[in-house]
Amino acid sequence: MSPRPMVRPGGRSARVQESVHAAVRELVEEVGRDALTVPMVATRAGVTPSTIYRRWGDLQELLSDVAVERLRPETDPADLGSLRADLDAWAEQFLDEMASPSGRAYIRDALLGDPDGTNAGQCSAYAAEQIDAVLARAVQRGEPVPETELLIDRVVAPIMYRILFRPVPLDAAYARELVTNALYAQQFEAGARPTRAAAPRRSNGKPEN
């Protein structure tokens, strides 16, 4: 999942990884992310710098791994009794966490040292899992639900776009607005148009042109 080869999941490798991650977390607190260096992390973690260079390549990839860990949601979305309430609450919390200075920093780090997109994909998967949990509960209640993809396009994507690309401040009202629009779309557009709002179903495994 995290570092490059990780062919040996247990024992010393695991200890080294944990110790290095812990060192990063501590040092980010103490000296700030900009002052971090690989040798510094190595010393704190009690390993030699070459170990870090070999396993992570450079500081960015290491920071990316740590960032993804911190972006993993700790708790399931709250159950407030209705799809609308659950989504509102989840979106507000999501926006809060992501738009905070540290959240922004983690997102940037996660994207930054991630040549193959694995870590970024993991972030997106976290959000999708949370949304799925909310939707699954709504289905059990018998509520009509939109597709996960619709919510990602209409709620998650705009939030992330604004965080990454725009200097605009975000507040909870914006999150609720996005949820409102998404649910409105689901309610009215379902069947109203031939094509759905969700994702293009992949056909091949190869991205790109």
Partner DNA sequence: CGTCCAGAAGCGACAAAATCGCATTAAGGT
Partner DNA sequence: ACCTTAATGCGATTTTGTCGCTTCTGGACG
Binding residues for DNA, rule: CB under 7 A, are 5-13, 16-17, 37-40, 46-51, 53-55, 57-59
**Interface stretch with its own copies, choices 6-14, 68-76, 83-91, 153-161 (CB under 8 A):** 153-161
Q: Which is nearer to its own copies, 30 or 171 (CB)?
A: 171
The letter for the amino acid at 110 is: A
**Contact between 191 and its own copies (CB under 8 A)?**
no
d(CA 192, CA 189): 5
Q: Answer whether 19's CB lies under 8 Å from 46's CB.
A: yes
Q: Which is nearer to DNA, 47 or 83 (CB)?
A: 47
Residue 69 binding partner per list its own copies, DNA, none, with a CB distance cut-off of 5 to 8 Å that depends on partner kind: none
Residue 5 binding partner per list its own copies, DNA, none, with a CB distance cut-off of 5 to 8 Å that depends on partner kind: DNA
Q: Which residues bind its own copies (CB under 8 A)?
A: 96, 99-101, 108, 111-112, 117, 120-121, 123-124, 152-154, 156-158, 160-162, 164-171, 173-174, 177-178, 180-181, 184-185, 188-189, 192-193, 195, 197, 199-200, 202, 204-209
